[in-house]
């Protein structure tokens, strides 16, 4: 009995397009995530892993689409191949079946190491960009909804006995926003 051909497709954000991944590959079922690959806690991947059975082939565009760190990658491949699922990475032209092949394992480890290195470089560039923006006085993150003057007014009104719920309503913010503003100031 021949198993199903299953596709797993991942892009990092909701505005990215999944069409280029596995274009032309005929599959029975496709699981998609629009999320970071920093860990394996992704709904599409979870469903995909539940779905695949012995004899199936999991098609993935490239190694970094499945995992961005070495330990996650090795664990996923090992788990899948132990269950009798073949994993095929199309960009790298690698297929893992669970058979003992030292060269394939070396290639997987090297490609996984490159994906992990790329992830750490992205994070480093992001940190540098945030630091540069802060140095220029740019707002990082969401703009504060309450000014320092408003927070001071809220504190004085709280001291007079008004409730946080009333104050949040009068300033048009959620209670959580009010609590956060009070903690930060």
Active-site annotation, residues: 12
Structure tokens at 30: 């496709």
User: What is the C-alpha separation between 184 and 172, in angstroms, rounded?
Assistant: 19
Rounded to 5 degrees, φ, ψ at 120 are: -70, -35
Q: How many CA atoms lie within 13 A of 184 on its CB side?
A: 13
Give the residue from 78, 54, 42 showing the smallest Cα distance to 6: 54
User: How far is it between the farthest Cα atoms of the chain?
Assistant: 76
């Amino acid at each position: 009995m021949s198993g199903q051909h299953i596709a797993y497709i991942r892009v990092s954000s909701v505005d990215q397009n999944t069409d280029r991944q596995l274009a032309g590959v005929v599959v029975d079922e496709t699981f998609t995530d629009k999320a970071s690959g920093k860990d394996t806690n992704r709904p599409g991947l979870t469903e995909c892993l539940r779905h695949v059975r012995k004899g199936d082939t999991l098609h993935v565009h490239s190694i970094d689409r499945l995992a961005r760190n070495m330990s996650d990658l090795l664990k996923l491949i090992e788990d899948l191949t132990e269950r009798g699922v073949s994993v095929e990475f199309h960009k790298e032209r690698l297929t893992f079946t669970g058979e003992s092949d030292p060269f394939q394992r070396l290639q997987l480890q090297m490609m996984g190491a490159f994906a992990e290195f790329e992830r750490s470089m992205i994070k480093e560039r992001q940190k540098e960009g945030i630091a540069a923006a802060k140095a220029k006085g740019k707002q990082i993150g969401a703009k504060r909804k309450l000014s320092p003057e408003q927070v001071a007014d809220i504190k004085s009104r709280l001291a007079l006995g008004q409730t946080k719920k009333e104050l949040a309503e009068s300033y048009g913010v959620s209670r959580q926003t009010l609590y956060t503003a009070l903690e930060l100031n």
